[in-house]
Amino acid sequence: MHIVERTDDIRQAHEIVKDMDDLRAKNLTDAKSLDQYLNLTNELAGLVRANTSAVERTKRIGAAIQKDRALITYDARQDTYWRRRDPALITELDLLTISMMQENLQSMDSKHHFFQTAKYLTALPQQKEMIFDSIVPVHKAVTRTRQDISSRIGDSLLGSNYEVVSDDRVQLSVRGDARFVPELIAEARDRGYASLSVIVDAAQRERIKALGGREDDQLSTPLPRWMTRLYGKSRLLGNIVMGGMPYEIQYRMENATTGRKHYRMDRGHGISVATGFGLGVAGTVALSIDLASANYLWLMAPVAVNSIIRMLSVSEGSYAYSSIFTKPFMIPLERRLKRGERKFRFDFTQQAKRYDDTALRQSYLAAMDSRSTDEERDSLAWKAGNHHQFGQSFMQRMTTLNLKPVLRKQDSAATCAETRDIGGYHKHNILFSYSSGDCMVTAITSDPQPGLMDIAARTLGQGLDLKLLVPQIVTATGAQYLRAERSEGDVYEVKP
C-alpha cells in the first residue's frame, strides 16, 4: 500500500484513457486509427514510467506475457477466463488500473488500455514490431490453445459431444449435444466471443430454447409454399387456416414471414378460435333446423370444449393447442418439419459497466463550496438541546442544492452517498457533513463494502489530520483506493 499526496498525473491519465475508450467503442481497425491508439499508448506509458509502483506492476505483467504468449491478445472482455487461469496477473492489472486512474476511474474495462501499455513498456527489442502490431483497441476471443474450446474435438469441455463448425474468434459455431450447452455458453462468454451458435437435433430444441437461445430457421425444413402463398393472398383466410394448425407450423410461419405479410401466432390463433366456434355453432344450428330435430344440438359440445381449451391456452400466453379437428390431418407435416437440425444463437453483451460520476462529484464539491450559517452547522451537533431538531436547518439548505442527505445522530453527521458496480469492483462517492465542515470521500473496493459508511463517518468525525485518518479507514475496510477532501482544501489519498 502506497500513501501519497495528490498529484496532477491522474488528470492526464484520465484524458488519455477517455480518448482510448472512444477508439475502443468504435472498434476502428484502419491504419490511421491504429496509429492513433498506439500513440495514446505511448502517452499513457510516459505517465506509468513516472510512477514507481506502476512500473513494478508492468514488469510483473510483462513477465507473465513472456510465459504465456496467448496473453499478447488479451482483451478486457476475456477477463473472467484469465482470472481463472492466472488470478495473480489479473489482480496486478486491476491494481495498476486503479492506482493510475484513482477517482477518475469509471469502468474496469479501462484495464485493457493499461495492459496494452504494459506490453509497450516491457517489449523485448526483438519483439517490438510484433508487440506494436498487437496494441489495438479491441482484441478478439482468446487465441486457440490446446485447452481451448475451439481447438479440436476431445478437449476437456467438449469431449466427443461437439464438433466445431467455425470459429473466427468473434463468433463460435458448434454442433452437438444440448446437455453441455450451459457450460459452453459460459466458456464462450468468458473467452470474449461476441456470439455462440449451437446446432442440435430438432428433438433437443426445447432444451436450448429454455436457455434463451434465438432460433435460426435456416437449417429447418421449409414450409410448404401453399401456406405462405395462402397467407399472402388473403390474410383473413390465412389467419383462419394457420391459426388452427399445430404450434410447430404456426411458429415456423411466424419466423418465415415479414413486413405486411407477417403472420403473428397470437392474432392467427384468436381469429381461428373465434371462426371455429362461430362456424361450429352455426353448422350445428343449421343441421338441427334442416333435420327439424333438436337431437343434434349436442354436437355443439365438442366445438365448445375445443374453443374453451384453446382460449384458456391464450390466457396463459401459449398457442400450443391447435384445433382438434385439424390436428390429425397435420401430423405427417408436423413430423416432417420436426426432423433435421436446428440452429440457435446466443449473443453476449459487449457493453462494459460504466459509472460516470462526474456530475455527482461536482454537486458534492458545489455543496462544500457553498456557505452555510452557524445555525445550520450547529444543528448537526447532536446533543440534548437539539435531539428532535437535529439537522433540520442543515437539511433545508441541502434541499436547495438538490441533495438529500441522511442524518446520522450517532456520528453527529449528515451523509450523501452513491455506490455503483464498475465491473468487478465498486466505486463509492460519499459526502460527509459535520458541524465542523464537509469531507468528500471517493473509494474503490473489491466488494460492495456496506460497512464503509459507518467506519468512515466515525473516523472522519474525529476531526484529526487526514494523514492519520485515511489510512485507518483503508485498513479497516480493505479499500483498494480511498481519497478524502475537506472543504478547507486538505486532500489525502491512499492508492495501491
3-class SS string, 401-441: CCCCCEEEHHHCEEEEEEEEECCCCEEEEEEEEECCEEEEE
Closest CA to 281 of 305, 316, 247, 257: 305
H-run or E-run covering 287:
helix 265-290
- Identify which of 80, 113, 354, 341 has the alpha carbon closest to the alpha carbon of residue 193: 80
Q: Are 443 and 479 in contact (CB under 8 A)?
A: yes
- Our count of domains for the chain comes to 4
Cα 54 to Cα 48: distance, rounded to the nearest angstrom:
6
Are residues 148 and 41 both part of a single domain?
no
Range with the lowest mean pLDDT among 242-256, 423-437, 465-479, 481-495?
242-256
Concatenating the DSSP letter of every residue in 368-385 gives HHS---HHHHHTTS-SGG
Q: What does the pLDDT read at residue 110?
A: 96
* 415's grid cell: 451523509
Q: Of 348, 380, 402, which residue sits at a domain end?
A: 348
For residues 326 and 416, state if they share a domain.
Answer: no
Work out the number of other CB atoms within 10 angstroms of the CB of residue 417.
16
Same domain as 159, residue 305: no
| Separation of alpha carbons 272 and 310, rounded Å | 10
In a domain, 112, yes or no: yes
| Spatial separation of the C-alpha atoms in residues 71 and 74, rounded to whole Å | 5
In a domain, 51, yes or no: yes
Domain containing residue 244: 226-338
Kindly state whether residue 464 falls inside one of the protein's structural domains: yes
353 located within any domain: no
What does the block give as the cell for 434?
459535520
- At 5 the pLDDT is 44
Confidence grade of residue 318 (pLDDT, cut at 50, 70, 90): very low
Q: Are residues 489 and 373 in the same domain?
A: yes
Question: Is the confidence at residue 105, as pLDDT, over 90?
Answer: yes
| Last residue in a domain, options 348, 380, 408 | 348
Closest CA to 167 of 183, 186, 191: 191
Write the CA distances from 316 to 219, 245, 309, 321, integer angstroms. Answer: 30, 18, 11, 11
The SS3 of residue 345 is: strand
What are the grid coordinates assigned to 322, written together? Answer: 391447435
DSSP 138-186: ---SPPP-TT-TTS-TTSTTTTTSEEEEEE-SSEEEEEE-GGGHHHHHH
Q: Give the separation between CA 88 and CA 444, rounded to whole angstroms.
A: 19
On whether both 265 and 238 belong to a single domain, the answer is: yes
Q: Could you tell me if 449 and 407 lie in one domain?
A: yes
Residue 57 pLDDT more than 90? yes
Residue 491 lies in a domain: yes
Among the candidates 348, 370, 392, a domain finishes at 348
CATH code at 209? Answer: 3.40.630
Examine the domain organization and report whether 333 and 408 are in the same domain: no
157-161, 236-240, 252-256, 337-341: range with lowest mean pLDDT: 157-161
Parallel, antiparallel, or unpaired: how do β-strands 426-434 and 413-421 relate?
antiparallel
Residue 407 and residue 435 share a domain: yes
Higher pLDDT, 51 or 242: 51
For the ranges 45-59, 145-159, 319-333, 383-397, the maximum mean pLDDT occurs at: 45-59
Looking at the structure, tell me whether residues 326 and 240 fall in a common domain: yes
Rounded percentage of the chain residues whose pLDDT exceeds 90: 46
Judge if 91 and 208 occupy the same domain.
no
Determine contact, residues 99/53, Cβ cutoff 8 Å: yes
Q: Which band of pLDDT confidence, cut at 50, 70 and 90, is reported for residue 329? A: low
The answer to whether 307 touches 244, Cβ cutoff 8 Å, is no
What's at 259, amino acid-wise?
A: G
What cell was used for 403?
441533495
- Residue at 373 is within a domain: yes
- DSSP letter assigned to residue 97: H
Mean pLDDT along residues 92-110? 96
Please name the residues in contact with 278: beta carbons below 8 A apart, sequence gap of 6 or more. none
Residues 186-215: pLDDT tens digits? 889 999 999 998 888 766 777 888 888 888
Question: In this structure, is residue 153 part of a structural domain?
Answer: yes
333, 344: one domain: no
Q: 3-state SS of the chain: helix, strand, coil percent to 5?
A: 55, 15, 30
Residues 202 and 340: their CA atoms lie apart, in Å, by 6
Q: For residues 95 and 167, state if they share a domain.
A: no
